[in-house]
Amino acid sequence: MLGGLSVPNQDDSTTRPILALTGGAKIGSEMGLGAYLFTSSKDEDAPLGKFNYDLYGVELGYHFEGEAKGVYLAGRVGTSKVKVGGESESPFHIGAAGGFNYFLQQHFSVGGEVNYFSVTSSGDVDGFGMLNFLGSAKFWF
């Protein structure tokens, strides 16, 4: 589970809370394949009004071993559900992430992540980007 702040570059928007769920499996010792859901909602001032987004998709990650154990980089791709005012669209998005997992026990870590998503334009919803700063608590099986 991850949580933190999202900074979208949509006109008239402000910094907002964001929550995320991720799940995945390691493929070998360093590669990982997973899925994610990020969600953020906030009522903005006029003229933007309601501005909510959910991003879900798949990620391919590289988990460093050795001296940099716990550090990871990932690429993400998926679809979104964006609501702006009364309009709702489902645009495509791509993103990249980097983070660190500090293992408190063999199956539990805490850490942090910084990621960027670019959401494409779709219908009446303009494309935008967002930079997210998140803390994490993860169970490893």
- Per-residue model confidence as pLDDT tens digits over 31-44: 999 999 999 998 88
Mean pLDDT score, 116-134: 93
Among 135, 134, 139, 117, smallest CA distance to 56 is for 117
CB distance 35 to 20 below 8 Å: no
Question: Over 90: is that where the pLDDT of 64 sits?
Answer: yes
Q: Is 125 exposed, middle or buried (0-12, 13-18, 19+ CB in 10 A)?
A: buried
Banded pLDDT at 74 (limits 50, 70, 90): very high
* Mean pLDDT value of segment 110-116: 98
* Domains of the chain, CATH where assigned: 2-139 (2.40.160.20)
Predicted pLDDT at 114: 98
